[in-house]
Amino acid sequence: MTIGIIGGGATGLLFSWYLSRQNPLKIFVRTNNQAEKINDNGITLYKAKEPWTSKSMTASSSYEGLEDCGVILIMVKQYHLSGILPILSKLPKEIPLVFLQNGLGHLDDVNELPNENILLGTIEHGCQRIDSDSVRHNGTGLTRIAPLKGDVVRLKSILKDYDEDFPISFGDSWKQILYKKLIVNAAINPLTAVLNVPNGSLVDNPYFKKLLHSILEEIIPLFPEVDEKEMMQNVVGICESTKENRSSMLKDIEAGRKTEIDAIMGYCLKQGELLGHQMAFSRLIYEMVKGKEVEQGG
Amino acid sequence: MTIGIIGGGATGLLFSWYLSRQNPLKIFVRTNNQAEKINDNGITLYKAKEPWTSKSMTASSSYEGLEDCGVILIMVKQYHLSGILPILSKLPKEIPLVFLQNGLGHLDDVNELPNENILLGTIEHGCQRIDSDSVRHNGTGLTRIAPLKGDVVRLKSILKDYDEDFPISFGDSWKQILYKKLIVNAAINPLTAVLNVPNGSLVDNPYFKKLLHSILEEIIPLFPEVDEKEMMQNVVGICESTKENRSSMLKDIEAGRKTEIDAIMGYCLKQGELLGHQMAFSRLIYEMVKGKEVEQGG
């Protein structure tokens, strides 16, 4: 059963490398150049010292053959989804679709797809794209998947039996997994991007820790399903265990790339408006990141 | 009539150079090393291309001879004042004292000095210390002086007739000049220090401009004596006319030095508390600068 992966970024390459070890795999990327490089060289994974190359996949810069996949993982940034949804809506309804974006702003559109099984997931791996056909796997993390519509039965039968470097868990509540991931991202990413510090500074620096708490106090109440105290500890724990890491949003700012601020903080601000919550801190941080995008871009 | 200047930073050196052209001048600095260098080499001013050296001053690292000065300009940062006030309080009461600090937090202490004429001032020159005996004069600005206690008569007779590169104006209202300077500093300095941008970005970048307005909307109402609309335009105008400048607070952060955040924003936050004003944005920016001080220092 062929697995389809849409997206040739860091996570797309990482998943392609791991999942191609047990299944035929096709990766759909945006440029001819990347497709050719992957078809010629395979994908190389850097983990520890030894790079490992896998050639057990084919790459394509068109969506030809997408309908022959047994399952499709959509691994593009949320702001690239709009171009892909119309293509997905024409696929056979029995193909399970797995969406692995940050944020929640896309769920209404995704929900309207006619497919029977639509799954949502979050990724905790630390990874970094080195080149269009190579990726660094910095830290193993859990991939959590839960159904938005339908169930995970078919998907589970395809994605089973992976090794300990690539664990996948199947759950029932997409809200729990997506809300928690969103809160983590909304607290850590924009703040580290604005302050230009690694994750650990948000708990080591007493002033930055105060800011982290201020943000969390605004964000967590947007999601009454999430336990406030437990979530606070969770975020602090993540800052501690990823002390040296520079967040993806900080890296995006440094590289002059578009960030996921709208998918993450923009979504929270909209929720705050709907619920009538005061979001002064979050709004300020949002404006700062948007401004930094403009600054870096030009 | 000897002019005394306390403080060997950028403005202390700048004022010593200019004022020594028409009066005997004594500069009081903190280290033996700086005093010796100035006594050996004089003070060199860099403006345009040609450096000019003046030797018409003596320097001292003790306060010996302070009581013989006809007027004393106190040009240390606000956070260094506490060590100097006890010395000033023992001077002959007829010596006018001119305080040229940012912020307003020191005024209660200054007001208790027994001296008959206590003047307050603000400086608009752009300058930068190059070395302990040399300073760069980047831009000519007005020095504004007004009495906190007594009058400016005696001072005026000493500090008159300076050239167009060093204009001094004497006014009646210390509130107008200090409040306006404080608002400018509170709006521009912390924001540029946090965002790591030159002054111009606060008006060119639409997101940063929004932040500038948010800060001003919190700060200006703390000072009902100041016209809100005029002040807004004033700050925007300063950002435009000093487009390429990096603010003193940004430079302090970059160099790992202590900033004037407590004298500037700390004072505003205290005023806000007294008046019961909501200061969410200002507080966040304050915490960010304090955190950046810790980050750079540690």
- How far off is chain B from A187, nearest CA to CA, in Å? 15
Mark whether A19 and A83 lie in a shared domain: yes
Does the beta-carbon distance from B208 to A281 stay under 8 Å? no
Mark whether A91 and A147 lie in a shared domain: yes
Number of domains in chain A: 2
Q: Which two tokens stand for residue A61?
A: 């810069």
Mark whether B65 and B149 lie in a shared domain: yes
Mark whether A168 and A190 lie in a shared domain: no
Does the beta-carbon distance from A205 to B291 stay under 8 Å? yes
Mark whether A161 and A239 lie in a shared domain: no
Q: What is the pLDDT of residue B118?
A: 96
| Domain enclosing residue B274, as ranges | 177-293
Summarised one tens digit per residue, pLDDT across range A224-259 is: 999 999 999 999 999 998 889 999 999 999 999 999
Does the beta-carbon distance from B284 to A281 stay under 8 Å? yes
Mark whether B210 and B263 lie in a shared domain: yes
Chain B CA closest to residue A208: B291
As annotated, the active-site residues of A are 181
Residue B298 lies in a domain: no
Looking up residue B74, the CATH number of its domain turns out to be 3.40.50.720
Residue B65 lies in a domain: yes
- Nearest-CB residue to A284 (from B206, B211, B290): B211
Looking up residue B217, the CATH number of its domain turns out to be 1.10.1040.10
Q: What is the pLDDT of residue A172?
A: 84
Residues of chain B with confidence (pLDDT) below 50 = 298
> Cβ(A47)–Cβ(A134) under 8 Å?
no
Q: What contacts B178, CB < 8 A, 6 or more positions away?
A: B104, B120, B122
Mark whether A284 and A189 lie in a shared domain: yes
Q: Which two tokens stand for residue B122?
A: 């603000």
Mark whether A243 and A206 lie in a shared domain: yes
Nearest Cα to Cα of residue A37 among A24, A27, A49: A27
Summarised one tens digit per residue, pLDDT across range B252-292 is: 999 999 999 999 999 999 999 999 999 999 999 999 999 99
Q: What is the pLDDT of residue B124?
A: 87
Nearest Cα to Cα of residue B235 among B272, B182, B170, B195: B182
Residues of chain A with confidence (pLDDT) below 70 = 161-163, 298
Chain A CA closest to residue B193: A195
Does the beta-carbon distance from B194 to A288 stay under 8 Å? yes
- Nearest-CB residue to A211 (from B210, B211, B287): B287
Domain boundary among B130, B156, B172: B172
Q: What is the pLDDT of residue B18?
A: 93
Mark whether A193 and A158 lie in a shared domain: no
Domain boundary among B126, B148, B172: B172
Q: Give me the sheet containing B51-54, strands edge to edge.
A: B51-54, B43-46, B134-139, B126-131
Chain B positions in Cβ-Cβ contact with residue A284 (cut-off 8 Å): 211, 214, 280-281, 284
| ipTM for the whole complex | 0.81
Mark whether A228 and A257 lie in a shared domain: yes
Domain boundary among A172, A201, A222: A172
Place of tokens 């960030």: A259
Please give the span between the terminal C-alpha atoms of chain A, in angstroms, as a whole number. Answer: 46
Q: What is the pLDDT of residue A105?
A: 87
Mark whether B243 and B98 lie in a shared domain: no
Chain B residues near any Cβ of chain A (below 8 Å)? 194-197, 201, 205-208, 210-211, 214, 280-281, 284, 287-288, 290-292, 294-295
Phi, psi dihedral angles at A252 (to 5 degrees): -60, -45
Chain B positions in Cβ-Cβ contact with residue A206 (cut-off 8 Å): 291, 294
Rounded CA separation A192/A203 (Å): 11
Q: What is the pLDDT of residue B81?
A: 94
Q: What is the pLDDT of residue B95?
A: 94
Mark whether B158 and B206 lie in a shared domain: no
- Nearest-CB residue to A287 (from B196, B197, B210): B210
